[in-house]
């Protein structure tokens, strides 16, 4: 695993995490670990503690998993079918008084970020996707109209990159790259 190059050391999970596509198609997630991952999301901060995130969780082979897999873009279906678990994150887009909750996407992203961290901390890997048909996911899952599908998260156990082929293999072994800190910190970078 190639560690992120950082100016100052950061948490190992953050430095080592990546979004792999080569997954072990026989591996499963224990109930204990799955609950921990959902707890990590649950305890995310949100504006006014509104907690607008909702989750649909499918384990490989079950009805929810197949409903989610069916909504993925074909490129994503090509690797994500080997996930142990697929989770749709959906957001409550309106407040109780009917006005739009403008921050729901931000809050959902925070919950996913915590979910991803806990996943990697527990030795699994997570891969977020927006390459999916949100309307299809909503229909397949019988989603309430108060919810907007935001993303799909694949959770699984990483397999050797060589299980993939062609462009997918190339992407799997490519180094993780990021813009320089000096490009993204517009004012106030100390070092």
Kindly list the residues in this chain that would bind ligand FMN in the complex (CB under 6 A): 18-19, 76, 128-131, 151, 176
Q: Sign (positive/negative) of CA torsion 73, 74, 78, 82?
A: positive
Strand segments, DSSP code E, in the chain are 53-59, 85-92, 125-129, 147-156
Considering beta carbons, is residue 16 or 30 the nearer one to ligand FMN? Answer: 16
Whole-angstrom distance, CA of residue 65 vs CA of residue 46: 27
Minimum distance of ligand FMN from residue 133's CB (angstroms):
11
Q: Which residue is nearest to ligand FMN (CB)?
A: 131
Minimum distance of ligand FMN from residue 189's CB (angstroms):
21
Phi-psi domain of 61 (left: phi exceeds 0; alpha: psi -120 through 50; beta: other): left
Minimum distance of ligand FMN from residue 82's CB (angstroms):
13
Whole-angstrom distance, CA of residue 91 vs CA of residue 72: 18
Residues 61 and 132: beta-carbon distance below 8 Å? no
Considering beta carbons, is residue 70 or 95 the nearer one to ligand FMN? Answer: 70
Minimum distance of ligand FMN from residue 9's CB (angstroms):
17
Nearest to 84 by CA among 8, 151, 33, 12: 33
Considering beta carbons, is residue 103 or 131 the nearer one to ligand FMN? Answer: 131
Considering beta carbons, is residue 50 or 131 the nearer one to ligand FMN? Answer: 131
Minimum distance of ligand FMN from residue 31's CB (angstroms):
26
Considering beta carbons, is residue 55 or 95 the nearer one to ligand FMN? Answer: 55
- Show the tokens assigned to 123: 């030795």
């Amino acid at each position: 695993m190639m560690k992120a190059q950082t100016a100052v050391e950061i948490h190992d999970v953050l430095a080592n995490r990546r979004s792999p596509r080569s997954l072990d198609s026989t591996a499963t997630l224990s109930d204990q670990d799955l609950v921990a991952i959902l707890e990590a999301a649950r305890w995310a901060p949100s504006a006014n503690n509104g907690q607008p995130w909702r989750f649909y969780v499918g384990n490989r082979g079950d009805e929810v998993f197949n409903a989610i897999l069916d909504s993925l873009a074909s490129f994503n279906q090509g690797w994500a079918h080997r996930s142990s678990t697929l989770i749709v994150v959906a957001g409550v887009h309106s407040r109780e008084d009917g006005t739009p909750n403008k921050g729901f996407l931000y809050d959902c992203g925070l919950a996913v970020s915590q979910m991803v961290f806990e996943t990697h901390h527990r030795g699994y890997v997570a891969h977020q996707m927006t390459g999916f048909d949100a309307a299809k996911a909503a229909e397949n899952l019988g989603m309430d109209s108060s919810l907007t599908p935001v993303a799909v998260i694949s959770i699984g156990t990483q397999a050797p990159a060589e299980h993939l082929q062609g462009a997918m293999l190339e992407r799997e072994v490519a180094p993780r790259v990021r813009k320089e800190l000096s490009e993204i910190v517009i004012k106030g970078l100390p070092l």
